[in-house]
Amino acid sequence: MLMRIGREYLISHGWLLIPAAIIGVVAIVWGAIALSGIEQNGCSGFSYFGFIDHRADAGNYSIQLVNGANPVIITSVMVGPNIDRNPYSSLENVQPGNQFVIRTKPLSLNPGVPFTNTIVRITYDVINGEPNRTDSAICAGRVY
């Protein structure tokens, strides 16, 4: 009898679990709910470039992005207080929609230590367009 009541209640009211689960996932993704022991890894805030992935080691920081609507040339990258005015870019002239990687010269990050709230600012020139544009994001991750 009790099993039947529980099953009927779940069938008639179980749909309420779906929106509750969606709200919980959205709250975790947006950072409104922090789960202890889970490390945030990524960048948020870019308005022109699309973030794909990033990686840091004791000497370098690499970030993989997708270009926006215009062909660009990357001119400098600032990661935290460090500015690299001649960063390596996997593509010299990055065409719209292309994925590319930027790697900076040595940083002062310690292996195994997470970094948080690190500003990454990319300066770029739009080919046949506006020079010295910037796009930035707040990044977090772990140094390998």
* Ranges of each domain in the chain: 1-38, 42-142
pLDDT at 85: 87
pLDDT at 112: 72
- Rounded Cα–Cα distance for residues 45 and 77 (Å): 15
pLDDT at 24: 72
Which residue positions in the chain have pLDDT lower than 50? 2, 35-38
What are φ and ψ of residue 70, in 5° steps? Answer: -125, 150
- Rounded Cα–Cα distance for residues 61 and 79 (Å): 8
- Rounded Cα–Cα distance for residues 144 and 142 (Å): 6
Whether 64 and 53 have beta carbons less than 8 Å apart is answered as: yes
CATH number of 42-142: 2.60.40
